[in-house]
Amino acid sequence: MGDRGTPATRNTASPPGWRPPPDPWARGSATRWAWPWPSGSWPTGSTARGTRWWTILGLGKLVCLYVDNDISIDGSTDLSFTEDAGRRFEVHGWHVESVDDGNDLDSLERAIGAARDEANRPSLVVVRTRLAFGALTQQDSSPAHGALLGADEVSGWRERFGWSDQEFFLPDAALARFRQVALLGEELEAR
């Protein structure tokens, strides 16, 4: 096995159309906060009370991403959670943006940009996603929430998206972005 970055461990080609996701901190201060919430792990009562307090405090640099895939470990989130998360936060005074397809990076970037631009209240970006997106038989299934997909499922996914069938694959654009973030982290730590 080669060392990090050699062709033995890393493919150099990115799949067609792949690009890194938007950076919530690209505009303005590095003191911005982002907090992901998956739909199967929605905030408890005490956290929900905290979200109202964050509105009162006017935490305009807080951007929460609500990842809505309608799947929990036990099955559909309808088993235990049926409210409209975006509407709930609007009622609490939050700025709310919605993205109908988490794979539409242009829409995601616009929504995060609008959330970043909100200076006086926290923002929630509701992002509709597909659990195990592209998997041949496990997409949108509760087993995909925590179980291994298996070699055949992964191989089929790689083939569907034109990725290398290597055991480990990291697109060049992703590697470049990770290295940029590492350098930024080093710069911020040095301050």
Q: Which amino acid is at 129?
A: T
- The string of pLDDT tens digits covering residues 98-130 is 999 998 989 999 999 999 999 899 999 999 988
- The string of pLDDT tens digits covering residues 141-160 is 888 877 888 888 888 888 88
- List phi, psi (to 5°) of 13: -95, 135
Domain ranges of the chain: 1-16+162-191, 20-129
DSSP conformational letter for 145: G
CATH code: domain 20-129 is 3.40.50.970
Cα 166–Cα 171–Cα 175 angle in degrees, nearest 5: 120
Pairing state between β 123-128 and 62-68:
parallel
Name which of 126, 117, 130, 59 is nearest 97 in CA terms: 126
